[in-house]
Structure 1
Amino acid sequence: MSAVLYAEELRPGAVFDLGSAKVSREEILDFGRRFDPLPLHTDEDAAAESRFGGLIASGFHTLAVLQRLAVDMLFSHAAVIAGREMGSIRMRAPVRPEDVLHGSMEIVDVHARNDGTAVVHSRGTLTNDSGAVVLEIEGKTLWEHRRPGGTENGAA
């Protein structure tokens, strides 16, 4: 990948490894208390009595983990302008304290626009150490389409 990745370098089917992140008990409790104060995310005793049998991360917390991985490993090295759309968010399995989540992002489509930008449709996935998919999301971001002053032939 070049120093800055532009939409013209992306190809449908390309998959980016986003690395991994460990989700701690303290992070689950803090996020839950701040943003999703349901007992499943904030009260270990109550969570133990739930159908999950213990503390689990909020789905929004899990989504935030994927976003952080995407920013660290891809978006901060890309000509991304802004997010445009999040859709089809699927929370497939609970995230528990000490789970290590592994992220990937697949390029579904790149649509160049007349204003020099492109809409990039992607699919993000998080799996746990057991290989279970815990989160899937499809979304669209707005990117600069072409490298200033010409293009580079490296495709993702």
Structure 2
Amino acid sequence: MKFSEFKAGMVVTHPPVVVSQEEMLSFAKAYDPQWFHTDVKRAEQGRWEGLIASGWLTCSLAMRMAVDAALHDSESFGSPGLEKLRWLLPVRPDDAIHLEATVDSVRISSSRDDLGIMRWTWRVFNQRKEQVLEVEATSLFELDNGK
């Protein structure tokens, strides 16, 4: 989507993505090697009563869904950061998670007319319609504005 297509209040969605145990283990071994993400047997005895995905994998999948659903053909060039990141429930092997991203605001920078700024809230849900992730993000867009 192009920057001009984003409107406050609109919801951008992405269909479900299934998270496999193999993907969870591979990601965790490389980036978040805590036992409840990497040790299937020990995780069964732990607080979560089974293996759970790294929250960072969930964030990465949300990012991929946001790119596929909205940013892939846009003028987006980065982000100054996040306002809020919450892992609400664990993602488990074979969960099917989907994205619902609400555009909170869209504006042109007051100091640079070639910079678009969008704030949006990403909500990720599992197949039981339980929310597993919430992220408030800002995306920056390079605008031509006739230059």
* TM norm structure 2: 0.92
1:105 pairs with one of 101, 104, 126: 101
Q: Distance in 2 between matches of 1:8 and 1:147?
A: 11
Q: Kindly, what percent of the aligned residue pairs are identical?
A: 30
4+ runs of 1 displaced by more than 2 Å? 5-9, 144-149
Q: Distance in 1 between matches of 2:7 and 2:118?
A: 10
1:46-85 equivalences under 5 Å are: 46-85=42-81
Counterpart contact for 1:107–1:122, Cα < 8 Å: yes
1:12-91 equivalences under 5 Å are: 12-91=8-87
Which residue type is aligned with residue 37 of structure 2? H
Unaligned runs of 5+ in 2: none
Per the TM alignment, residue 78 of structure 1 is displaced from its structure 2 partner at its CA by: 1.4
Q: Deviations over 1:66-117 (max 9, x none)?
A: 0011111211021112122112101000100000001121110112023311
2:88 pairs with one of 77, 89, 92: 92
Unaligned runs of 5+ in 1: 150-156
**For the structure 1 residues 101 and 147, does the alpha-carbon distance in structure 2 shift closer, same or farther, using more than 3 Å as the test?**
farther
Which residue type is aligned with residue 120 of structure 1? M
Count of aligned pairs between the two proteins: 145
**For the structure 1 residues 22 and 14, does the alpha-carbon distance in structure 2 shift closer, same or farther, using more than 3 Å as the test?**
same
Per the TM alignment, residue 148 of structure 1 is displaced from its structure 2 partner at its CA by: 5.5
Which residue type is aligned with residue 37 of structure 1? P
The SS at the match of 1:40 is helix
**For the structure 1 residues 147 and 66, does the alpha-carbon distance in structure 2 shift closer, same or farther, using more than 3 Å as the test?**
farther
Aligned-residue Cα RMSD (Å) equals 1.6
Counterpart contact for 1:6–1:144, Cα < 8 Å: no
**What corresponds to 1:135 in structure 2?**
133
**What corresponds to 1:153 in structure 2?**
none
Counterpart contact for 1:123–1:136, Cα < 8 Å: yes
Q: Distance in 1 between matches of 2:41 and 2:13?
A: 36
Q: Distance in 2 between matches of 1:52 and 1:106?
A: 30
Q: Deviations over 1:18-68 (max 9, x none)?
A: 222100000110011000000110001110011110000000010001001
